[in-house]
């Protein structure tokens, strides 16, 4: 399988860069600039001590700062360690409305060497914005990112 253009761009952008926060910052900016019809793209980082996610680098409106494991789409994806693609967040039990304009969401858990890093979270104002093809591309993007952290 060939890398998507987005993953190739990320790989080139992060080559020889070692700063974790800078790499996440540029990854979120790349997603925000490259994907259409989204209103938030960024990362929540896992805090093992409190078993919760903390807001990390992102692009978009202000966001929730702490999300408990198992809460909302991000916390559920973290707890289940699987990608969640939600067509209508208002129908997701326990959805946390950080931005009332968001209607659909995709969350990709980030794990490297069996260590939970956090999640990639992308929101859209449109219902059913994220397709199975988007999921494949974002999982690939996440794998590329994990090579650089």
- In this prediction the pTM is 0.95
How far, in Å, CA of 149 to CA of 93, rounded? 32
Checking if the pLDDT of 89 tops 50, the result is yes
Burial state string for 21-60 with b = 16 or more CB within 10 A and e = fewer than 16:
eebbbbbbbbbbeebeebbbbbbbbbeeeeebbebbbbbb
Average pLDDT, the chain: 95
pLDDT band (50, 70, 90) for residue 1: very low
Question: Which pLDDT does position 99 carry in this prediction?
Answer: 74
The tens digit of pLDDT for each residue in 94-132 reads: 778 777 789 999 999 999 999 999 999 999 999 999 999
How far, in Å, CA of 23 to CA of 95, rounded? 28
Question: Which pLDDT does position 138 carry in this prediction?
Answer: 98
Q: What is the DSSP string of 13-77?
A: HHTT---HHHHHHHHHHHHHHHSSS-SEEEEEEEETTTTEEEEEEEEES---SEEETTSHHHHHH
Question: Which pLDDT does position 100 carry in this prediction?
Answer: 78
Percentage with pLDDT > 90 across the chain: 91
Checking if the pLDDT of 3 tops 80, the result is no
CA-closest candidate to residue 146, choices 10, 3, 42, 34: 10
The tens digit of pLDDT for each residue in 24-33 reads: 999 999 999 9
């Amino acid at each position: 399988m060939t890398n998507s253009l987005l993953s190739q761009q990320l790989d080139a952008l992060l080559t020889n860069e070692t700063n974790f926060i800078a790499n996440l910052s540029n990854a979120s900016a790349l997603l925000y600039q490259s994907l259409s019809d989204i209103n938030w793209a960024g990362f929540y980082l896992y805090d093992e001590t409190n078993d919760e996610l903390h807001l990390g680098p992102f692009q978009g409106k202000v966001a929730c700062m702490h999300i408990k494991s198992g809460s909302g789409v991000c916390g559920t994806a973290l707890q289940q360690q699987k990608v969640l693609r939600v067509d209508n967040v208002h129908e997701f039990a326990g959805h946390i409305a950080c931005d009332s304009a968001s209607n659909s969401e995709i969350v990709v858990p980030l794990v490297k060497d069996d260590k939970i890093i956090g999640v990639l979270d992308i929101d859209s104002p449109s219902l059913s914005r994220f397709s199975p093809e988007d999921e494949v591309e974002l999982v690939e993007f996440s794998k590329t990112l994990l090579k650089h952290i």
